[in-house]
Amino acid sequence: MKCIARAQSNDLDRRRFISTAAMFAAAAELGIPTTAAAQPASPRTDTSFRQLKQIDAGPLNIGYVEAGPAGGIPVVLLHGWPYDIHSYAEVVPLLEAQGFRVIVPYLRGYGSTRFRASEIPRNGQQAALASDVLALMDALKIQSAVIAGYDWGARTANIVAALRPDRCKAMVSVSGYLIGSQAANRKPLPPQAELSWWYQYYFATERGRAGYQANTRDFARLIWQTASPDWKFTDATFERSAEAFNNPDHVAIVIHNYRWRLGLADGEAQYDEMEKFLAAAPAISVPTITLEGDANGAPHPDPMDYARKFAGKYEHRTIRGGIGHNLPQEAPHAFAQALIDVNRM
């Protein structure tokens, strides 16, 4: 096991120099010209996905992007909140060039993903999102895949790997082990840690729900800025992803997700056994690489605190150069390299 400690440098120019050098190294491994690797990810606005596909999977009709050969090793990439599939816009072609079959779905409440019936609860609990991934894999006839994500996507990947290791060939998880439980979330945190979760408590109120509904884009932009303080994304980059929040169920899913975590909203009975299993914080046995940006401004655990939760082949990497919470979009070459490497573990 390797564990690389987080860098403690305040010299942004030096971090950017290191980041550029790392991109050159990653580019060499990926077979990408170094002139392309030296281009920063954040200013690019011309990277677009091909036409979206839609498929019925469990309670949803899921919108997703698919790239790469049909016979390639499947990779499922899961986005977080408040982001969307475009977090992977520059990761996908890198993996496609390596022969992977890449699937990038909109989570429930985002983009073109829709509930198949009006009476289905707009449930954002963690087990429901993981079940969506398994249903999508069933619909696409994918028995096992490399699963990767950050934020909500990392938690969802963790749960799939813990519940169904037979369906998860390997995993890349930003910020490590994120499986939670309502019981654990009832335990108070130190004041500084509680402050970092301000929006969770805001969403617990009716004022917060109404505020998020009225100001979704502004709210998301604030989270982008605070979670990735060194990421200089453009208006076009933000607006491209913000379109995904126009989903009619977006606000309901987001609010339920955070209220469920605090035990302020019920889940669905069909997920009770899953949640009971997850509440015990099960170890993950599949090969795993965890990633962390050295400038992640969102709440996240220390890598040393979760290393023991990975019982199989495991490695941690800290990605340097002012990289924040949306790691695949801010450091696409490093993220793609982790996927290539974990597939070989």
Whole-angstrom distance, CA of residue 144 vs CA of residue 168: 5
Task: List the helix and strand counts (H, then E) for the chain.
Answer: 16, 9
Segments in the chain forming alpha helices (H): 12-30, 34-37, 91-97, 126-139, 152-163, 182-185, 191-196, 198-203, 206-214, 216-227, 235-242, 250-261, 272-279, 303-306, 327-330, 332-344
Whole-angstrom distance, CA of residue 267 vs CA of residue 247: 21
Answer yes or no: is pLDDT of 111 > 50: yes
Answer yes or no: is pLDDT of 73 > 80: yes
Asked if residue 73 lies in contact with residue 128, where contact means CB atoms within 8 angstroms, the answer is no
User: For 176-213, what is each residue's pLDDT tens digit?
Assistant: 999 999 999 889 999 999 999 999 999 999 999 999 99
Asked if residue 23 lies in contact with residue 332, where contact means CB atoms within 8 angstroms, the answer is no
In this structure, of 48-57, 125-134, 256-265, the range with the lowest mean pLDDT score is 48-57
Asked if residue 171 lies in contact with residue 286, where contact means CB atoms within 8 angstroms, the answer is yes
Task: Return the closest-CA partner of residue 57 out of 148, 131, 166.
Answer: 131
Question: What is the reported pLDDT for 48?
Answer: 64
Strand 74-78 to 114-115 pairing: unpaired
Question: What is the reported pLDDT for 50?
Answer: 73
Question: What is the reported pLDDT for 130?
Answer: 98
The whole-chain average pLDDT of the chain stands at 89
In this structure, of 21-35, 124-138, 140-154, the range with the lowest mean pLDDT score is 21-35
Query: 244: which strand partners?
Result: none
Burial of 272 (0-12, 13-18, 19+ CB in 10 A): exposed
Whole-angstrom distance, CA of residue 63 vs CA of residue 132: 12
Structure tokens at 94: 């890198």
Whole-angstrom distance, CA of residue 313 vs CA of residue 233: 35
42 contact partners, CB below 8 Å, separation of at least 6: 231, 232, 233, 234, 237, 329, 330
Whole-angstrom distance, CA of residue 114 vs CA of residue 101: 24
Quick one: which H or E segment has residue 101? strand 101-105
pTM of the model: 0.87
Question: What is the reported pLDDT for 2?
Answer: 37
Better-predicted residue by pLDDT, 14 or 320: 320
Question: What is the reported pLDDT for 132?
Answer: 98
Asked if residue 55 lies in contact with residue 138, where contact means CB atoms within 8 angstroms, the answer is no
For the chain, the helix, strand and coil percentages under 3-state DSSP, each to the nearest 5: 45, 15, 40
